[in-house]
Amino acid sequence: MLCTALAFGSGRVEMPELDIADRVFLKSFAKLAMCFGVQSSLVKDRANWPAGDFDSIPATELFCLATAAAAEIGIVERSFAEETLKAVHDRVSLIARAHGSLPHFVRRMEGGQYRIYANTEFSTVDTAIFQISMLLSAAMPGRSEIAAEVTGQIRESALAGFTTLMVQSRTGFATAERQYWNLPGTTGAGRRLWCG
């Protein structure tokens, strides 16, 4: 167990004893929370940049997932986790996608809408991270309507051809089912690619 004491002026603030796993979680959560924009509902990729200049989609959802986990262990109020989940879902639902894939980084444009940051990519991996984390986040506070919307987005996206996600909302686990993808413009043995 570790205990940390910080001196502020004439007073002293002590943190409770925490095991290493709890301490790492709290420090990581605090770093994400410092970069989370309450008005934007996105996480800045760089803490020293203004909100909206270079925001990260996967970091945003990992913050959402960490907030749900923090609510489960009593670090934040459940209502805060639910509000964060809804705000992130609402914000990201408005961001333009390419064939169902989300951008890795976004920037706030004139008029307040968020678009892909110049010279960065739309990413199937970041989209998968976002969707799986969103499903797990929705399962923790019990927001089944958000889980249903994300599941629908997965089915409609280009990722649906690669992998089928099934959500077991009671347990909060997402599992992948093997599926073959027929690559357009190819024939023979190279035509089928297994993903899963």
pLDDT digits (tens, 9 = 90+) for 117-167: 998 899 888 888 888 888 888 887 667 777 788 777 777 765 444 443 333
- The number of domains in the chain is 1
Q: Indicate whether 14 belongs to any domain.
A: no
Q: What is the pTM of this model?
A: 0.70
In a domain, 176, yes or no: no
Taking a C-beta distance cutoff of 8 angstroms, is the pair 2, 18 a contact?
A: yes
Q: What's the pLDDT score for residue 98? A: 87
Residue 179 belongs to a domain: no
Q: Is residue 139 part of a domain?
A: yes
15 within some domain: no
SS3 category, 85? helix
Residue 175: inside a domain: no
- The CA-based angle 181-173-63, given to 5 degrees, is 95
For residue 2, is it left (φ>0), alpha (ψ between -120 and 50) or beta?
A: beta
Query: Tell me, what's the pLDDT at 55?
Result: 96
pLDDT at residue 41 in the model: 95
The SS3 call for residue 76 is coil
Q: Look up the domain containing 156 and give its range.
A: 20-160
Give residue 105's pLDDT: 95
3 backbone φψ class: left, alpha, beta (φ>0; ψ -120 to 50): beta
- pLDDT score of 194: 33
- Which stretches of the chain score pLDDT less than 70? 1-15, 141-142, 157-196
The verdict on residue 141 lying in a domain is yes
DSSP state of 118: T
Q: Does any domain span residue 187?
A: no
